[in-house]
Amino acid sequence: MQTPVNTLKKALQAGEVQHGIWLTSGTCVLAELAGNAGFDWCLIDGEHGPNTVSEMLPQLQALAISGTSPVVRIANAESWMVKQVLDLECQTVLIPMVDDAETAQEMAQAMRYPPDGNRGMGAVLARATGWGAVSDYPRAANREVCLLVQAESATALENIDAIAATEGVDGVFVGPADLTADMGYPGQADHPEVEKAIDHMIERIVAAGKIAGIITFDESRFAEYAKKGVTFLGVGGDMAILNTALRELAGRVKS
């Protein structure tokens, strides 16, 4: 067996817009459903969803059957968290709350084996290598992993050029919700100052030659963000979609 090619990373680096959905339910059933729905990627959310490492594993297995690329967002910018999800065979990792180039560099190091980083050499015991069946993993893994860091604060806005320029960072994801709050406009993603900040960050990320990402539930903005250079585009969340569908159905039958 050989290390699988990270098809999501390959498509993103080729400039192809990849649409995906957030998974916050913590269940493999919804992961399987979303994986078979036709999205390019599904993100298992370990920051705001009830997803421990043990709960991520069956969701990754469900996505593997569907063929949809998995992404994991860990809870915090911690090297040990990066190591755990990589060993689970998730090649693309999203790191929240990365405010500066120093933190971005730490995460880039955590993603890769020496001499390019400091990831621990224990994957022979893990799912990433098929528990030892993938013979070339220590040599090929660095090439196939994909690091996306989240810029979602006023500090990250100031440091966006340095974050995007960090070696080993494959892309930068703009987190609109936390950015609005940190800028003093909580819940106002359409505030002119917030939109100006988001546009500026996307512009600088693209100018640095890195993957630009964002999430929006507003379907009218999908094409707009793609035109601005966003290729890692989150378009919804499992629980939000389910909640809306259930409430609409209940409303129809009760009317």
Active site (catalytic) residues:
48
DSSP result, 63-89 = HHHHTPEEEEE-SSS-HHHHHHHHHTT
At 102, which helix (H) or strand (E)? Answer: helix 101-111
- CA atoms of 9 and 188, how far apart (whole Å): 31
Calpha distance 246→255 (Å, rounded): 14
Two tokens, residue 215: 């999430």
Structure token pair of residue 164 = 């995007």
Q: At what angle do helices 79-87 and 101-111 cross, to 10 degrees?
A: 30
Which segments of the chain are extended strands (E)? 18-23, 41-45, 69-73, 92-95, 146-151, 171-174, 211-215, 230-237
Q: State in Å, rounded, how far the first CA of the chain is from the last one.
A: 57
Token representation of residue 109: 């190091």
Residue 174 CB coordination number (10 Å) = 25
